[in-house]
Amino acid sequence: MAELDDELYERIEELSEEGNEFADEERYAQAKAKFEEALSLVPAPKTDWEAALWLYASIGDMNFMLGNYKECSDNMFDALNCPDAQANPFVHLRLGQALYELGNTERAKEHLLRAYMLDGEDIFEGQDEKYFDLIKSMV
């Protein structure tokens, strides 16, 4: 897999860190803007780059926190097209949660179950119980 130029990677990391700081302060819209700015620096096709995985996931996470469930699911589907994403339990968790909130419980089960299979019950710690309850009978 190709690697980003060091200077570009550093700038993406700086913006991501700023986004993380906003997220820690529950300033989700500002965090999302920083993650989007960082993603805009990733060369096309974005899904070829590992950095795009965590940026799409971060944008999706902020959309989830803002109640933008459709946008969150779109971001997480984009993340799943990035290198190593299929093995990322967080992407599956957030995608499953967003699909649940959109009323697509069958697809939600699929991704929540994948998150569980990758990381066990720990991935649901601190999350609303309704998400684990959806797959509890399957595990």
Q: What is the pLDDT of residues 53-62, one digit of tens each?
A: 999 999 999 9
- For 120, half-sphere exposure in the C-beta direction (CA atoms, 13 angstrom radius) is 1
108-124 pLDDT, tens digit each: 999 999 999 999 999 99
Q: Determine the pLDDT at residue 1.
A: 61
**CA gap 49, 75 in Å, rounded:** 15
Q: Measuring CA to CA, which residue among 11, 8, 33 is closest to residue 20?
A: 33
First CA to last CA distance, the chain: 35
pTM of the model as a whole: 0.96
Tens-binned pLDDT, residue by residue, of the chain (139 aa): 678 999 999 999 999 999 999 999 999 999 999 999 999 999 999 999 999 999 999 999 999 999 999 999 999 999 999 999 999 999 999 999 999 999 999 999 999 999 999 999 999 999 999 999 999 999 9
